[in-house]
Amino acid sequence: MKIFHPVKDPTLLTVYIVASLVGSFLVLALMHKFLSLRAKGRFITALTFLAGFFYSLEFFLPAKNGKNFLTPWVEPVGDALAVIGAFAFPLGLVSLAIVHWGNIKRKREGWYFSLVLFIATIAMALSAFLSYYAHLSIAKKIYSCLFDGLYIPLGVAMMSTLAFYIVSAAYRAFRVTNVDAILMMGAAIIVMLGQIPFGMWLTSWLPMQGIVSSLRIENVSNWFMTVVNMSVQRAIGFGLAVGGIAMALRVWFSLERGMQMGGK
Amino acid sequence: MEHATTGVAILELSITGAILFSIFWARGGKEFFLRRIAAFSVIDEAIGRAVEMGRPILFCTGLSGLGVTFFQALAILSYVVRRAAEYGVRVIVPLFASEVYPLTEEVCKEAYRAAGKLEEYNPSDVFFLSNDQFAYASGVVGIMHRERTATHFFLGDFAAESLILAEEGHSVGAMQIAGTPATLQLPFFVAACDYTLIGEEYYAASAYISREPIIVGSIKGQDLGKIILLFLSLSGVIGVTLGGKMAIIFQNLFR
């Protein structure tokens, strides 16, 4: 079932966008005007419960060929949630603009970076619109230069710094200060040696088969990863899964009454 | 979308039942014991450090969007902001997802109001930074260096940027408390932060801070759920080891 499908016709698209914006703002304004704070809270609680109820019912009801009577509605409901979420996007942009405009206005340290942000935002948006709708080749080139030539390399450069951070974190983690650290360092050395040819060469004189073969460094390393490490990962995973269920239930039934959920 | 098999439905409903049972038990007046969690116990100490140094606190929710992980981070954020407001310390909250901005702003404002210092609330301390992973990371690192933050909280969903943030935070000499449900990032936080919430400790935040009986009850329910899983795991190990029909039953239990 496709309710929120893409519209190709520009006139229809404009009509849809304007109508949805006007309709949404009208609904929000009416709610703001006529609903008390308590009624708004109850409305949110009811909506939260209904949304959770829909997804859990869809999951638990028996399905034939992977579908039950609610399955066709999963996509439209998901799309509707994405549309609601999209309403918050301009708020984020406004927040970003306010912070950086304040930097420029008050000439705070590094204010020119804020200026770069505005210039980059306008340049990216303009080039993307002009290349997509007006099919201007110059706009395409500018967009490609900014996105492929600048934005992606900057992201990759940031990611590449991880290599150095891993070394410094590992140095601190493996400092031998107590028995636990000695055990951890020993395990780490075995796992690292098990991944490289030199490590495998160290125990290559041991037979490939039989009980003694378990002492070959690649097998010990594999045992650490698949038995010791995996069992702990799964234990943490079980705890997280149950914790996630408990938290989801608290949100679903609106039992989470902290300040973050409108409580005191 | 996948659907529940009979085995999965029974398991999930049992865990849900155990949690709801504990919640209603707590609602009936039963008091449950909540063990001490080091990372939560030092929150006040971490805030105090920022007060003594006269520097701001950085609260980073990572790549969290609107979801249960973010709600837990908000529970801790509301507490941190309220305590920081009482002592007049700024809390800087850069956000990854724009849809969480209005909620976060409202929580911070409410925390200032609860501390009786609404007039001191600075709206530009809570802001949307970027929804690109590494642009967000570089932005947060920049804030650490410019503002010379004294205390860092890394609570929420994190991916590869976790180590960049934690290591840079360590290099500026900040006290760091971290927690994430992303198990792959936990070793990085353990290595680079002073205190780390491991596993389901992360989801105990609101119970630990509010001490609300109903929420503490749900934590007890989590323990019951884990007992069910432990029993199933042990039965599975024994069943598969014995072999024969038992092994087939356990291997197909959730299929």
Q: Mutate which of B24, B71, B147 to test chain A, going by most A C-beta atoms within 10 A?
A: B71
Domain presence at residue A217: yes
- Does A23 reside within a domain? no
Residues B231 and B120 in one domain: no
Find the closest chain A residue to B99 by CA distance.
A88
**Inside any domain, residue A183:** yes
- Confidence (pTM): 0.85
Q: CA A76, CA A96: separation in Å to the nearest integer?
A: 31
**What range does the domain containing A199 cover?**
165-259
Whether A264 maps to a domain, the answer reads no
Residue B249 lies in a domain: yes
* Candidate from A59, A242, A251 with C-beta closest to B200: A242
Across the interface, which of A165, A236, A247 has its CB nearest the CB of B198?
A236
Residue A13 CB neighbours (<10 A):
12
Cross-chain Cβ contact A158/B15 below 8 Å: no
pLDDT of residue B253: 78
Cβ of B44: how many Cβ atoms within 10 Å? 12
Inter-chain contact A250–B215, Cβ cutoff 8 Å?
Answer: yes
Task: Tell me the Ramachandran region of residue B127: left when phi exceeds 0, alpha when psi lies from -120 to 50, beta otherwise.
Answer: beta
Are B171 and B241 members of one domain? no
Judgement on whether residues B50 and B173 belong to the same structural domain of the protein: yes
Per-residue pLDDT tens, chain B, 255 aa: give them.
578 888 889 999 999 999 999 988 888 888 888 888 888 889 999 999 999 999 999 999 999 888 888 988 998 999 999 999 999 999 999 999 888 888 899 999 999 999 999 999 998 899 999 889 999 999 999 999 999 999 999 999 999 999 999 999 999 999 999 999 998 899 899 989 999 999 888 888 878 887 888 888 888 999 999 999 999 989 988 988 888 888 888 878 777
Residue of B nearest to A239 (CA): B200
Ordered DSSP codes for chain A: --SS-----HHHHHHHHHHHHHHHHHHHHHHHHH--HHHHHHHHHHHHHHHHHHHHHHHHS--BTTB-TTGGGHHHHHHHHHHHHHTTHHHHHHHHHHHHHHHHHTT-TTHHHHHHHHHHHHHHHHHHHHHHHS--HHHHHHHHHHIIIIIHHHHHHHHHTHHHHHHHHHHHHT---SHHHHHHHHHHHHHHHHHSHHHHHHTTTS-SSSGGGGGSHHHHHHHIIIIIIHHHHHHHHHHHHHHHHHHHHHHHTT---SGGGT--
Q: Which of A168, A170, A245 sits opposite B225 (nearest CB)?
A: A245
Is residue B48 domain-shared with residue B156, that is, in the same domain?
Answer: yes
Q: Do the Cβ atoms of B200 and A243 come within 8 Å?
A: yes
Same domain, B84 and B71: yes
Q: What percent of chain A has pLDDT over 90?
A: 31
pLDDT of residue A16: 86
- Our CA-based measurement puts residue A145 at a distance from the nearest CA of chain B, in whole angstroms, of 18
Number of domains in chain A: 1
In a domain, B254, yes or no: yes
Distance of alpha carbon B145 from the chain centroid? 25
**Distance in Å, alpha carbon of B16 to nearest chain A alpha carbon:** 7
Residues B108 and B172 in one domain: yes
B220 in the same domain as B97: no
Select the residue from A32, A112, A166, A240 to test the B interface by mutation, using most B Cβ atoms within 10 A: A240
Number of domains, chain B: 2
Angle between helices B213-242 and B6-27 (to 10 degrees): 150
Nearest CA in chain B to A83: B99
Q: B246 and B127 in one domain? A: no
Residue-wise pLDDT tens digits, A163-206: 899 888 888 777 777 888 888 888 989 999 999 999 999 999 99
| A221 domain residue, yes or no | yes
Q: Is residue B169 part of a domain?
A: yes
Q: Do A237 and B2 touch (CB under 8 A)?
A: no
Kindly give, in sequence order, each residue whose CB lies less than 8 Å from that of residue B49, ignoring residues fewer than 6 positions away.
B150, B151, B175
Pairwise CB contact (< 8 Å): A88 & B181: no
Least CA distance to A245: which residue of chain B? B16
Q: Which residues of A touch B139 (CB under 8 A)?
A: none
Q: A211 in a domain, yes or no? A: yes
Decide: B226 and B95 in contact? Cβ < 8 Å: no
Classify residue B223: in a domain, yes or no.
Answer: yes
Whole-number pLDDT of residue B53:
95
Same domain, yes or no: B43 and B79: yes
Q: Does residue B135 sit within a domain?
A: yes
Q: Are B130 and B38 in contact (CB under 8 A)?
A: no
- Residues of chain A contacting B1 with CB distance shorter than 8 Å: 58-59, 71, 74
3-state SS, residue B195: strand
**B159 in the same domain as B203:** yes
A29, part of any domain: no
Please write the tens of the pLDDT for every residue from A30-63.
988 888 888 888 888 898 899 899 999 999 998 8
| DSSP tag of A231 | H
**Could you report the predicted ipTM of this complex, rounded to two decimals?**
0.84
Q: What angle do CA A44, A45, A51 make, to 5 degrees?
A: 85
B252, B134: one domain: no
On whether residue B15 sits in a domain, the answer given is no
A-chain CB neighbours of B16 within 8 Å are 245, 249
Same domain, B200 and B223: no
Q: Which amino acid is at B95?
A: L
Residue in A155, A169, A246 closest to B167 by CB: A169
Q: Considering the domain boundaries, does residue B31 fall inside one?
A: no
CA A142 from chain center: how many Å? 29
| Residue B219 near chain A (CB below 8 Å) | yes
CATH of the domain at B181: 3.40.50
Inform me whether the pLDDT recorded for A13 exceeds 70: yes
For residue B225, the enclosing domain spans: 213-255
CB A244 within 8 A of CB B70: no
Say how many C-beta atoms besides its own lie within 10 A of residue A181's C-beta: 13
Per-residue pLDDT of A66-116, as tens digits, reads 888 888 888 888 888 888 877 777 878 888 888 889 889 988 888 898 899
The nearest CA of chain A is from the CA of B95 a distance in Å of 9
A155 to chain B: closest CA residue: B134
Q: Is residue B226 part of a domain?
A: yes
Say if B134 is an interface residue toward chain A (CB within 8 Å). Answer: yes
